[in-house]
Amino acid sequence: LYLKYLAFQISLCVRYNILLLIIQDAIKELSLMNYKKLGNTDIKVSTICLGTMTWGEQNTQEEGFEQMDFAIDKGVNFWDTAELYAVPPKKETFGHTEIIIGNWFKKTKKRDKIILATKVAGPAREYIRGGGNNYTPERMTQALNDSLKRLKTDYIDLYQLHWPERNTNMFGRLGYSHKENEDWNKFEDVLGHLNKFIKDGKIRDIGLSNETPWGVSKCLNLSKEKDLPRMMSIQNPYSLLNRTYEVGLAEISIRDEIGLLSYSPLASGYLTGKYRNNQLPKNSRLERDGDFWTRYNKPNTTEAVDAYYKISKKYNLNFAQMAIKFCEIQPFMTSVIIGATTMDQLKTNIESVNINLINEVVDEINEVQKIYPNPCP
Catalytic sites, residue numbers? 85
Comparing C-alpha atoms, which of 288, 279, 164 is closest to residue 231? 164
Strand partners, 37: 44
Any bridge partners for residue 158, and if so which? 117, 205
Cα separation, 298 vs 40, whole angstroms = 37
- Please name the amino acid found at residue 14: V
CB crowding 75-92: b at 16 or more within 10 Å, else e: bbbbbbbbbbbbbbbeee
For strand 203-209 and strand 156-161, is the pairing parallel, antiparallel, or unpaired? Answer: parallel
28: number of Cβ within 10 Å:
10
Strands (DSSP E) along 63-188, which ranges? Answer: 78-80, 115-120, 156-161
Please state, as a whole number, how many other Cβ atoms lie within 10 Å of the Cβ of residue 48: 29
| CB proximity list for 262: less than 8 A, separation 6 or greater | 235, 236, 237, 238, 239, 245, 327, 333, 335, 336, 337
**What residues are paired with 118 via a beta bridge?**
159
